[in-house]
Amino acid sequence: MRWNDLRRRVLSVLERPVLSRELVIGACDRLSRQMLDGAYEEMLQNLETTIPGLSSKLTQAARMLSRDALEQKVLWELDGLPKERTAPLGVLLHIGASNLDGLAAYSVVEGLLAGNINLLKLSRDDDGINTLLLSELVKTEPVLKDYIYVFRIPSTDTGRLKKLMDLADGISVWGGDEAVLAIRKLAGPNTKLIEWGHKISFAYAAEEGCGEAALRGLAENIIGTGQLLCSSCQGIFLDTENTEAAEAFCVRFLKILEDAFSELSQGDAGRRACHTLELYNRELENDPDVVRIYRGRGVSVTLCSDNRLELSDIMGNCWVKPLPRRRIVETLRDKKGYLQTAVLVCGQKDRAELTSLLVRAGVVRIRPGEEMDTLYPGQPHDGEYPLIRYSRVIDLRE
């Protein structure tokens, strides 16, 4: 679509009454039921070779698009605000994420729930799930065609991107610091920037209550996500200063991580080989912070002497670091603004104290080890509710 045609069409839609939230929820629910009833089974068979795990990804998407899930989301996020007190931003540009399949399409659904016209710039690595979901949603409810526009524009094409930004009232950007800074430079001062930047997640384990089920949940997260998501466990802090206790934990967790790898791994052999070489290189360089690297079948656990929160070597390679609870706040505050999920592996008597310390350090999501990846209706994004950020609250005086 040409730029002038897009602009005229968007302005025409803005002149209409606000998009019905019930219409959006109804369309998403019909699509959800079709997906769960097997309406796309033949299509899935054709696409499975190019998009691994597509069937399970769409099942998860279907659950998040159900009427119950979306109605609960609206109830929690808008906190009972009457409809006449909220209005859409108007036009919302979504800069899609590349590390989680279907997230960009769900972001567009959130924009629709707030009543916005949605422009989606797909990421360079988009595998087609977002386009599939949105095209099927429009087939389910053709009215939505005027509220969804999808673009494949390279990030280097700043001219076309700037035109989309100038048309938008808000920009929802998913990405790391460089991506966010690039959008900030392009966006005008009168355009709201809604940042969902890269975050880092980890586990914190106390000796008491360090059960097998919780550690198994951590291992499944590490292997299942490849440690590529903001909610992926990068490493484990231990509530100890005892080196022998830390070594014993590494030996124990390595076995659990190996078992998870044997059952769940579908990883890239080439990428795993690269990370194996990186581990050998760290040993050869005598990294002063590395106490020992415990290697297993396809995985590794690196015991470190420092307590910095950092990314792991990913793909089943995690770090373990001592961090006594009295130093949680001072240590983690260095990463304020980047903290997302902390998984607590501890006994019940320690849970309240450790939760409070993690919250004060800046963590926005705390889970037991068995539930690191669990999604639920109304779940905030990085400590904030998107629907209210995609809306304006109107002050009406009679």
pLDDT digits (tens, 9 = 90+) for 159-181: 999 999 999 999 999 888 888 88
Encode 364-391: b = buried (16+ Cβ within 10 Å), e = exposed.
bbebbbbebbeeebeeebbeebbbebbb
286 phi-psi bin (left φ>0, alpha ψ -120 to 50, beta other)? left
185-203 average pLDDT score: 91
Residue 275: in which H helix or E strand, if any?
A: helix 269-284
Phi then psi dihedrals of residue 365, to 5 deg: -150, 120
Q: Is the pLDDT of residue 197 over 70?
A: yes
DSSP 57-93: HHHHHHHHTSHHHHHHHHHHHHTT--GGGEEE-SEEE
pLDDT category at 314 given cuts 50, 70, 90 is confident
144 within 8 A of 24, measured Cβ to Cβ: yes
CA pair distance 231, 217, nearest whole angstrom: 13
For residues 275 and 331, the model is more confident at: 331
Kindly tell me if the per-residue pLDDT of 40 is higher than 90: no
Write down all domains in the chain, each with its CATH number in brackets.
Answer: 3-198+382-393 (3.40.605.10), 200-371 (3.40.309.10)
Task: Say what the pTM is.
Answer: 0.86
Q: Return the minimum-mean-pLDDT range out of 214-218, 287-291, 307-311, 369-373.
A: 369-373
| Average pLDDT over every residue of 107-129 | 92
Structure-token pair, residue 14? 């803005």
Confidence of residue 243 (pLDDT cuts 50, 70, 90): very high
Check: CB of residue 88 under 8 Å from CB of residue 392.
Answer: yes
